[in-house]
């Protein structure tokens, strides 16, 4: 017995637009590279003078921040004799980079991962008399004495994320409503 299709196929190739072999993300990248090539002088390389602009996912930003802070904690422990002030000073730029490099869809994760990364980075620096209890007490003491750096870096990351979010919402609204005529 034959079974007939009851609904028409909706997911076939579109006839109104030419098909492209590139996904939408690659098209956006190619368009922006073409715009850069048009505006850049012919003698300059396309990437000359540009800073890296990675876009990290929520997990990627957490891993980036955690690994960098752990490495900086170990570096401060070796070079500066476990100076918590040097560690705190180095924490703020990592917070800025994390908040700037997180992608738009995961903006609100940056202020969450930076305090966790601060604590992870204190692990190599946390002094203790020995054993797990002493090391844990050293970690809690370091967190308590360096709360200013922790709150400051988290505040900086939060402010950057809020500004980026406001700009994103404003850009979406103006794109949805179109440009307003001058009054």
Residues 6+ apart with CB under 8 A from 124: 70, 73, 74, 77
Rounded Cα gap, residues 41 and 64, in angstroms: 34
Residue 100, strand partner residues: none
Instruction: Indicate the number of domains in the chain.
Output: 1
Task: Flag whether 17 is in a domain.
Answer: no
| Top-confidence range, 31-35, 55-59, 126-130 | 55-59
Domain assignment of residue 172, given as a range: 58-177
**What pLDDT digit, counting tens, does each position of 117-161 carry?**
999 999 888 876 778 888 888 888 888 988 999 999 999 999 999
Partnered with residue 102 across adjacent β-strands are 56
Whether 39 is covered by a domain: the verdict is no
- Say how many CA atoms lie within 13 Å of 11 toward its Cβ: 0
165 has pLDDT over 90: yes
In a domain, 27, yes or no: no
Residue 182 lies in a domain: no
- Residues composing the chain: 183
Q: Is residue 63 part of a domain?
A: yes
Could you tell me if residue 13 is inside a domain? Answer: no
* 41 domain residue, yes or no: no
42 falls within a domain: no
Calculate what percentage of the chain has a pLDDT beyond 90. 38
> Does residue 16 sit in helix, strand or coil?
coil
């Amino acid at each position: 017995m034959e079974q007939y299709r009851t609904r028409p196929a909706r997911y076939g190739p579109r006839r109104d637009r030419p098909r492209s072999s590139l996904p939408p993300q690659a098209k956006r990248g190619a368009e922006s590279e073409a715009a850069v090539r048009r505006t850049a002088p012919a003698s300059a390389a396309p990437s000359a003078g540009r800073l890296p602009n990675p876009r990290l996912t929520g997990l990627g930003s957490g891993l980036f921040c955690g690994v960098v802070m752990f490495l900086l904690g170990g570096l401060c422990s070796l070079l500066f004799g476990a100076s918590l002030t040097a560690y705190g000073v180095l924490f703020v730029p990592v917070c800025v980079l994390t908040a700037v490099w997180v992608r738009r869809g995961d903006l609100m994760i940056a202020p969450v991962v930076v305090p966790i990364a601060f604590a992870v980075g204190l692990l190599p620096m946390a002094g203790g008399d020995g054993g797990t209890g002493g090391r844990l007490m050293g970690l809690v003491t370091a967190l308590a004495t360096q709360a200013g750096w922790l709150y400051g870096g988290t505040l900086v990351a939060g402010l950057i994320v809020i500004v980026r979010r406001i700009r994103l919402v404003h850009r979406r609204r103006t794109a949805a409503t179109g440009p307003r005529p001058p009054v």
